[in-house]
Amino acid sequence: MKKPAQINGRATITPPVSPYWTRADYAHETDMLRTEVWPAVQKFLAENWPGFSAAFTADDIVLCTLCRGEFEALTADEAADNSTNIDEHSVEGEPTCCYTAVDEFRAEHGIPAVQRGGAR
């Protein structure tokens, strides 16, 4: 009378990876999946498995143009917390990915530069 069944199966395609890749490298591979591999998968399904549908999804991230890492910035609470900010001049929105981004952000916003190598 009742029989368990599985529905809505999914196939996962994973590009090659390297332990030395940055987020930007992964973003490039994802773009290759979207623009080159995905159309081939859609064509294959249409030709060989009529009626099957498919969808492409990927996680959205923002990359730092300076270090190619994932861009992250301080929240207001983090900027006020000495355990998470760079110094007493840190503000909400200040990048946390690299010092080059911090330097650029501070120059654009008229915030004193980070004093490296000294005490807080």
Residue 118: per-residue pLDDT:
52
87-105 confidence digits (pLDDT tens): 999 999 999 989 999 999 9
- Picking from 96, 28, 23, the residue whose alpha carbon sits closest to that of residue 61 is 23
CB 97 within 8 A of CB 67: yes
**108-120 b/e with 16+ CB inside 10 Å = b?**
eeebeebeeeeee
pLDDT band at 66 (very low <50, low <70, confident <90, very high): confident
Residue 34 vs residue 92, higher pLDDT: 92
Domain edges within the chain: 21-50, 76-109
Residue 55: per-residue pLDDT:
83
Q: Within its chain, how far is the Cα of 20 from the centroid?
A: 16
